[in-house]
Structure 1
Amino acid sequence: MSDEDFRKQLEGGGLLTAEVIYYRPDFPKLLQSFVWQTVDIAPKFPRLAQFLDHWRRDIEAVIHSINIAHANLLRPAQVRFVDEALKIEKLH
């Protein structure tokens, strides 16, 4: 996981899994599946929107449908800073 993904999780992002069902223009009856994961922020999903814009613009395949799943893995309320540390020393 990159530092950018961790920062987005602290801002309320969570793991997004998107399954894109698509077909190639030369084989419209053959549906194919592409699964993509990223950290994104619900409910607007800006990274998913950016990915789909790229798909529509640069990939020669027509999107049939998209299935998404999103889970908040880490929220700011789950992070707590402490001022104390416990040191455990190995006994011989």
Structure 2
Amino acid sequence: MASLSLQLRDYRLTVAEILYHMPDHPGLLQSYIWQDLDLAPRYPVLRKFLTFWERELDGKLHSVKVASNSIITPSECRFVDGELKLH
């Protein structure tokens, strides 16, 4: 239910591809995919994760690509000209 309440507050499904230098081989890049609900365009949840990464993990960040899309969107409504009743 927490997920739904976040989505109703305009949080969007956010995916980030994080490229980082491998600690033992800094010349090589490794890819990490991160996914969570986040609030565009500031992305506070992703920023908190990246701050944790830089503070706690050995792999130095190279680049981050972000994609975001809302999950809950207004549905399409249309009115009909007639009504059909059964029984």
Same fold (TM over 0.5): yes
Kindly indicate whether residue 25 of structure 2 is the aligned counterpart of residue 27 of structure 1.
yes
Identity %: 36
Q: Secondary structure at the match of 1:60?
A: coil
CA RMSD between the two structures: 1.4
2:46 corresponds to which of 40, 45, 48? 48
Runs of 4+ residues over 4 Å off in structure 1: none
Give the superposition deviation at 1:5. 2.0
- Structure 1 spans left out of the alignment, 5+ residues: 80-92
Q: Secondary structure at the match of 1:26?
A: coil
Give the superposition deviation at 1:25. 3.6
Amino acid in structure 1 at the alignment position of 2:9: E
Q: Secondary structure at the match of 1:44?
A: coil
- Structure 2 spans left out of the alignment, 5+ residues: 76-87
Per-residue CA deviations over 1:28-76 (Å, capped at 9, x if unaligned) read: 111000001000010111100110011011111100000110001114x
Amino acid in structure 2 at the alignment position of 1:62: K
Q: Secondary structure at the match of 1:36?
A: strand
Structure 2 CA distance, aligned partners of 1:6 and 1:61?
34
Greater fraction strand: 1
**Normalising by the residue count of structure 1, what TM-score does the alignment of the two structures yield?**
0.75
